[in-house]
Amino acid sequence: MDDLVLKVVARVIIPFIQVYGLYVVLHGHLSPGGGFAGGVILAGGFILYALAYGRPALDSLLPDRLAALLESGGVLWYTGLGLVGLLTGSAFLANARAGFPLGVPGRLFSGGIVFLLNLGIGLKVAATISTLFRNLQEEE
Amino acid sequence: MLTVRSLLLALLLLSALAVARTRDLLSAAVIFAGYSLIMATVWQQLRAPDIALAEAAIGAGITSLLFIVTVARTGRYEK
Amino acid sequence: MTTHLVVLPILVLLVAALILPLVREPRRASLIGVSALAAAFLLWLALAFLVMRQGAISYHLGGWPPPVGIEVIADKLAVFFGLTVFLVAIPTAVFAGVDMPAEAPEPALSSFWTLYLLLVLSLLGLAQAGDLFNMYVFLEISSLAACALVAVVNRPANVEAAFKYLLLSTVGSGCVLLAIALLYMITGQLNLAFLARELEHQAPLYPKNVIGAGTFLLVGLGVKAAIFPLHTWLPDAHASAPSPASALLSGLVVKVYVVVMVRIVWGTLGRAFFTLLPFKSVLLLLATISIFLASILAMAQTDLKRMLAYSTVAQMGYIFLGLAAGSRTAFAGAILHIFNHALLKGALFLAAGAVIWRTGRRRLAELVGVGHTCPLTLSFFAIAALGMVGIPGTSGFVSKWFLLVGMLQQSSPLLAWVVLISSLLNAAYYFPVIILGFFGHGTDNELRFHLDRIPPELLLPAGSLALVSLFFGLWPSFPLHLAQDIAHDFFL
Amino acid sequence: MVQNLEYIAAMLLYVTGLGIMLFHSNLIKKIIGMNIMETAVFLIFIAAGYVRGGQPPIALPGEPLLLPVNPLPQALILTGLVVSVSITAYALALLREIYRHFGTLDAAEIARRKGELT
């Protein structure tokens, strides 16, 4: 895996992939996509990085421990946000009823809880898919 | 409109059959990636952009990649 | 605040399951696992108390009412199955804390606990799901977690069995999803209560959709619940899995699909469904074949856990037989048998696991005389085995008695004979193990009688399950009344 | 008729996927077949929620949705897609271990070697 063309192309493309992935994650409540699709695109960027620059490069960028933390943390974040609704006397995963500001429809910071939920899911999915790829590709 | 849809569905079927026919697992994985891409277009035609995006990222991207990585480690041809 | 009890047990388990991958130390992981289960159990007891006093509770996620929102329900069926889950899962977790380090390498251990809690929470979720959407999600979680538990030990037999299980149960989920699609097509609803209401008008107009949905539902859930032609994955998976996982899979996982079937078919699809297709007759036929075939195959086994796995297929047959027999008494008997068989099979697998832990042997021929080395464990095994056969005084007798009475009320003596003869078959494979275990002369000369040198963490769970099942055999009123109430709510 | 087109295609795909699962002994092929089967089910579901001439179920400010297609099946299928990718990934991880233990991915060959093991 020591291909100059691949490396150069990857260096140009990866930032675009990551920005697009983040865009899809953050605009989940406004346009098609959301935490899951965006997370997969983000992970795609990581995987391309690993393919072009080798596994050790990815390992130093996203260590196993960090990936595990993100995987658990993403869903814990989701559950925690859901619990806010429960604690404020509404229901689990309540949105406006739990006091989350809904904002102006169509703006980035709107939709209350949905925006935050997507963020957690996006991080979790990106970490999980990268881990999946790493486990499958692992050298013996 | 109708022709586009029937064409896409026919392509879908053709690629599924091609996966069944080929004995080369690597090309089966690649054809499957194409299958997913056509599927994503079909989702778009059925006004399901969320699924289209997910299918393109997952089916054509990640799943095929995982298949190829596995094929690379386990042998390319079906007996 | 009290209504939040409906979702709290699942949330407690979910949070614990997510924290566990971050815990490196195996002893601490097992401690977290057991205490999360205990906390969830206490919450579930409070919920059960509430439901018994004021009837079913419906909870709307996010405050959105159905049909748009996700509905979680706690009715008697959910409470009943949830109690069964905890009664089996907690002793098994204690057992696993000591047994798993002996069976699995260190890195697999923390994932074991995550999977264990995920499996338990998916079982609760399936019992509580009020709409098909939710049900499908938990169905997939449960089958993935169950497959992963089989392969937590990386031996050739395990990996192969897990793969077969995964493939078949995915086909099963696909069939269930297809059934959901067919129902959705004609009703436009996914919430069970709304679907039932809508279906009353639509079913006569679109009989083909209903027939298709029923067939795919039977195949899909049949694969997962291991009914006759679709049971082939079960013996491999349940026999090769580590013992605590076997107890959970055999005791609880296959049964949750019966609960799902009761909720969808009896609770939702209703009378129109039974008039449109011969669901009950097909189920009766398959159940009868299941019982006989699996009993005969169990006799032919040479491996202890494989024998127990085949016995599970046979016992699932009883449950389906009771559901489909068309009598309310038999229906209650079948529901009760879910509870009884879960406890008994849990006790059997844990006792078998303890014996394997102590002696390292699992072939029946090598287990002759094992009662000299592990008398207490084998006694617990014997108590549970007697319950399986249905000896009066054990819990298995109560549920079989209700099955029998139900069949006779329905004036179908043929089915009653099925129950009676198959009980003899059960005896034919359980008794030799016990008799040879206590009175046979083993290959080694360890004839000196001494108490089991088995840590209490292994002995107590098996013992408590066996004794609890004995208790509910002698005083069955609590689970029995609950089962009769469920039969009253759901029987058609 | 227009909608039936999707149903017919989905049925054919379902059969093709099932055929690949049943008649190919290579395990990777079986997983691909499984995936095709699942997408066929998804296709039926989405086609059931499709409205002729409908719009995507996404509300934009200032533009009222006149005729949105039903979003409920789309949410369910998105979940199904997530599940199917996790199952595929897990199955492939299992395949790797199977290959390590048995040295082959041919179902018949694995059954033979398993017989030798016991």
Indicate the angle between helix axes C328-359 and C76-103, nearest 10 degrees. Answer: 10
CB pairs under 8 A between A and D: 19
Do the chains contact at D41 and C148, CB–CB below 8 Å? no
| Residue C28, pLDDT above cutoff 80 | yes
CATH value at residue D71: 1.10.287.3510
Which chain B residue lies closest to A37 (C-alpha atoms)? B54
In a domain, residue C24? The reply is no
Distance from CA of B8 to the nearest CA of D (A): 10
pLDDT tens per residue across span C391-434: 888 888 898 999 888 888 887 788 888 888 888 888 888 888 88
Per-residue confidence (pLDDT) for residue C450, from 0 to 100: 61
C97-112 average pLDDT score: 79
Per-residue confidence (pLDDT) for residue A50, from 0 to 100: 87
Q: CB distance from B37 to chain D under 8 Å?
A: no
Per-residue confidence (pLDDT) for residue C343, from 0 to 100: 92
- Residue C129 φ/ψ, nearest 5 degrees: -65, 130
| Residue A140, pLDDT above cutoff 60 | no
Instruction: Measure the CA–CA gap between C247 and C243, rounded to whole angstroms.
Output: 6
Tokens of A80: 């925690």
Cβ contacts of residue A93 below 8 Å, gap of 6+? A81, A82, A85, A113, C61, C62
Which chain B residue lies closest to D100 (C-alpha atoms)? B74
In a domain, residue C8? The reply is no
Do the chains contact at A32 and D58, CB–CB below 8 Å? yes
Neighbours of chain B (3+ CB pairs under 8 A): A, D
In a domain, residue C134? The reply is no
- Best of A25, A31, A40, A125 to substitute, by most chain B Cβ atoms within 10 angstroms, is A40
pLDDT higher at A131 or A101: A131
Q: DSSP H helical segments within chain D, as ranges?
A: 2-23, 27-49, 71-102, 107-117
| Residue C122, pLDDT above cutoff 90 | yes
User: Which of B54, B61, B69 lies nearest to residue A36, judging by beta carbons?
Assistant: B54
- Best of A71, A102, A132 to substitute, by most chain D Cβ atoms within 10 angstroms, is A132
Instruction: Measure the CA–CA gap between C32 and C19, rounded to whole angstroms.
Output: 9
Do the chains contact at D85 and B78, CB–CB below 8 Å? no
| Residue A86, pLDDT above cutoff 60 | yes
C121-138 average pLDDT score: 90
Q: CB distance from B68 to chain D under 8 Å?
A: no
Instruction: Measure the CA–CA gap between C411 and C155, rounded to whole angstroms.
Output: 50
| Residue C23, pLDDT above cutoff 70 | yes
Per-residue confidence (pLDDT) for residue C344, from 0 to 100: 92
Q: CB distance from D42 to chain B under 8 Å?
A: yes
pLDDT tens per residue across span D100-109: 888 888 888 8
Q: CB distance from C190 to chain D under 8 Å?
A: yes
Do the chains contact at B65 and A24, CB–CB below 8 Å? no
Asked if C388 and C318 count as a contact pair (C-beta separation under 8 A), the reply is no
Number of H helices, E strands in chain C: 21, 2
Per-residue confidence (pLDDT) for residue B15, from 0 to 100: 93
% of chain C with per-residue pLDDT over 70: 97
Instruction: Measure the CA–CA gap between C89 and C81, rounded to whole angstroms.
Output: 12
pLDDT tens per residue across span C372-398: 778 888 889 999 999 888 888 888 889
Chain A residues in contact with D62 by the CB 8 A cut-off are 106
Do the chains contact at D91 and C157, CB–CB below 8 Å? no
Under-50 pLDDT residues of chain B = none
Please state the domain count of chain D: 1
Which of C100-104, C239-243, C292-296, C404-408 has the lowest average pLDDT? C100-104
Confidence band for A110, pLDDT divided at 50, 70 and 90:
low
Q: Do chains C and B touch (3 or more CB pairs under 8 A)?
A: no
Please state the domain count of chain A: 1
Instruction: Measure the CA–CA gap between C335 and C262, rounded to whole angstroms.
Output: 10
Task: Give the residue numbers spanning the domain of C323.
Answer: 303-492
| Residue C277, pLDDT above cutoff 70 | yes
Task: Give the residue numbers spanning the domain of D53.
Answer: 2-117
Tokens of A127: 């970490």
| Residue D36, pLDDT above cutoff 90 | yes
For chain D, the average pLDDT equals 83
% of chain C with per-residue pLDDT over 90: 33
- Closest C-alpha to C265, from C318, C164, C192: C192
Whether the predicted interface score ipTM is above 0.95: no
pLDDT tens per residue across span C38-94: 999 999 999 999 888 888 888 887 777 777 778 888 888 999 999 999 999 999 999
C344-355 average pLDDT score: 91
- Best of A136, A138, A139 to substitute, by most chain B Cβ atoms within 10 angstroms, is A136
Instruction: Measure the CA–CA gap between B61 and C208, rounded to whole angstroms.
Output: 38
| Residues from A in contact with B at Cβ < 8 Å | 24, 32-34, 36-37, 40-41, 43-44, 47, 129, 132-133, 136-137
pLDDT tens per residue across span C187-217: 888 888 888 888 888 888 888 888 888 899 9
Q: Any idea of the CA torsion for B59, B63, B69, B70, to the nearest 10 degrees?
A: -120
Q: DSSP H helical segments within C59-206, as ranges?
A: 76-103, 106-128, 132-150, 156-187, 192-202
| Residue C448, pLDDT above cutoff 60 | no
A35-62 average pLDDT score: 86
Neighbours of chain D (3+ CB pairs under 8 A): A, B, C
Q: Which of residues 22-81 of D touch A (CB under 8 A)?
A: 56, 58-62, 78
User: Which of A104, A106, A136 lies nearest to residue D93, judging by beta carbons?
Assistant: A136
Task: Give the residue numbers spanning the domain of A124.
Answer: 4-137
Confidence band for D53, pLDDT divided at 50, 70 and 90:
low
- Best of A75, A83, A93 to substitute, by most chain C Cβ atoms within 10 angstroms, is A93
Chain A residues in contact with C4 by the CB 8 A cut-off are 86, 91-92
User: Which of D30, D37, D73 lies nearest to residue C174, judging by beta carbons?
Assistant: D37
Asked if C344 and C388 count as a contact pair (C-beta separation under 8 A), the reply is yes
CB pairs under 8 A between C and D: 83
C224-238 average pLDDT score: 88
The greatest distance separating any two alpha carbons of chain D, rounded to the nearest whole angstrom, comes to 70
Q: Do chains B and A touch (3 or more CB pairs under 8 A)?
A: yes
- Best of C6, C12, C15 to substitute, by most chain A Cβ atoms within 10 angstroms, is C15
In a domain, residue C246? The reply is no
Per-residue confidence (pLDDT) for residue D61, from 0 to 100: 60
Asked if C198 and C188 count as a contact pair (C-beta separation under 8 A), the reply is yes
Confidence band for C447, pLDDT divided at 50, 70 and 90:
low
Distance from CA of D16 to the nearest CA of B (A): 7
User: Which of A106, A132, A140 lies nearest to residue D61, judging by beta carbons?
Assistant: A106
D6-17 average pLDDT score: 90
For chain B, the average pLDDT equals 87
Please state the domain count of chain C: 1
